[in-house]
Amino acid sequence: MSRDTRAYINVAALKHNLSRVRHYAPHQKIWAVIKADGYGHGLLNVANALNNAEGFGVAHLEEAIELRDSGILHPLLILEGAWDTEELTKAVRRRFQLVVHQWEQIEMLENTHLPDSVVIWLKIDTGMHRLGIGVNDFSRAYQRLQDCKQVSSVNLMTHFSCADNLNDPTTLKQIGIFNSTVGSSSGYRSLANSAGILGWGDSLADWVRPGIILYGGCPIRNKMPGDFGLKPVMTLQSKLIGIQNVAMGESVGYGAKWTAMEPTRIGVVAIGYGDGYPRHAVEGTPVLIRGHLAPIVGMVSMDMITINLNDVEGAKNGDPVTLWGDGLPAERVAEKCGTISYELFCKITSRVKKEMVYS
Ligand SMILES: Cc1ncc(COP(=O)(O)O)c(C=O)c1O
């Protein structure tokens, strides 16, 4: 029996989730955000599946170049912009669109002789205080970009800090600040990430920027992907490679952290933190086997986890075990690990083979 730990990437689910974005944002264009290797799903896999999006958003130049060199002709938006004149020139030569979020980037545009003109998205800091030009500087920054001969158009964007919490007034405040700052300035507007699209209709504007919902993750607190008709794209699966009958009072795994309170059938599953499964998954984190949720017991090791099979009849070596995906939303695992589905997806390591599934 080979190790057989796989991340199945469901192309139909990706396309379905894009259609859910269209449902929530019917009049908007879509920057499908596929940075960080398509949130761990494979950059090109995802770009090819989402070819109906109007464009792709990536974090930095290398990701955009990889897409272009692989034949992706869509508009590409570099969300962190260019960091030096060499990057700027390379980006402009390939007609990438660039976010500008700090003065140095404006100065670079003014002072670098470029091979072509460039479309800019000016990022305004409406309260997240990560990247962006402050609202008091907006008019000056916008005017300098408008005056820059190498800039063909200036579009306007911001990013939300708390849109995952539908009870938090911060998002409405950010939308208000954005609208009053840009006023009637020309240019397309883009505010909404996934949570904006699902939860904040006033943020839709001209272009939306979904990431996690394309992969079937849920960005809204206390909700599940199914509540929004989203389907999981990545199903992380492995196999049962061992079964141990452990007597009451015996312990399992490193540090003997878990002790059986009754005779327990322990299943050993071939996945661990060497595959990107979170080491800090607590006791009780569920896996799916034979249609049942079985809890993890003991510590996650590099190559294996141990689960309690007492409620899983007939389990035997070779049985498939789903860590998340179809039948077990990644959010259920993430909440047990003190993290978010984004991180679970991104952390899958290269020894886990990604296999595309087309139906
Ligand atoms: C500027 C920007 N827009 C959109 C997104 C997509 O966010 P989400 O995956 O929450 O939809 C991100 C992701 O971090 C981002 O940085």
Contacts of 71 (CB under 8 A, 6+ apart): none
- Mark whether 35 is an active-site residue: yes
d(CA 38, CA 101): 23
Identify which of 209, 214, 223, 343 to mutate to test ligand 1's pocket (most ligand atoms within 8 A of the CB).
Answer: 209
Cβ–ligand 1 distance for 219 under 6 Å, the answer: yes
Dump pLDDT digits (tens) for 327-336: 999 999 999 9
Range list for CATH 3.20.20.10 in the chain: 11-217
Beta strands 251-252 and 76-78 are unpaired
Give the model's pLDDT for residue 2. 62
Atom of ligand 1 nearest to the CA of 123: 1
Identify which of 124, 131, 159, 165 to mutate to test ligand 1's pocket (most ligand atoms within 8 A of the CB).
Answer: 159
Q: Ligand 1 mean position to 325 CA, how many Å?
A: 21
Dump pLDDT digits (tens) for 182-225: 999 999 999 999 999 999 999 999 999 999 999 999 999 999 99
Helical spans, DSSP H, in 160-205: 170-182, 194-199
d(CA 168, CA 164): 9
Give the model's pLDDT for residue 3. 77
Range list for CATH 2.40.37.10 in the chain: 234-357
Question: What global pTM score does this model have?
Answer: 0.96
Contact (Cβ atoms closer than 8 angstroms) between residue 68 and residue 76: yes
Contacts of 74 (CB under 8 A, 6+ apart): 47, 51, 53, 54, 55, 56, 67
Atom of ligand 1 nearest to the CA of 194: 11
The fold for domain 234-357 equals Lyase, Ornithine Decarboxylase; Chain A, domain 1 (2.40.37)
d(CA 234, CA 213): 12
Cβ–ligand 1 distance for 198 under 6 Å, the answer: no
Atom of ligand 1 nearest to the CA of 35: 13
Instruction: Identify the DSSP state of 231.
Output: -
Q: Ligand 1 mean position to 204 CA, how many Å?
A: 14
The fold for domain 11-217 equals TIM Barrel (3.20.20)
- The tens-digit pLDDT sequence of the chain (359 residues) is 567 899 999 999 999 999 999 999 999 999 999 999 999 999 999 999 999 999 999 999 999 999 999 999 999 999 999 999 999 999 999 999 999 999 999 999 999 999 999 999 999 999 999 999 999 999 999 999 999 999 999 999 999 999 999 999 999 999 999 999 999 999 999 999 999 999 999 999 999 999 999 999 999 999 999 999 999 999 999 999 999 999 999 999 999 999 999 999 999 999 999 999 999 999 999 999 999 999 999 999 999 999 999 999 999 999 999 999 999 999 999 999 999 999 999 999 999 999 999 97
d(CA 349, CA 359): 25
Per-residue three-class SS string for 85-107: HHHHHHHHHCCCEEEECCHHHHH
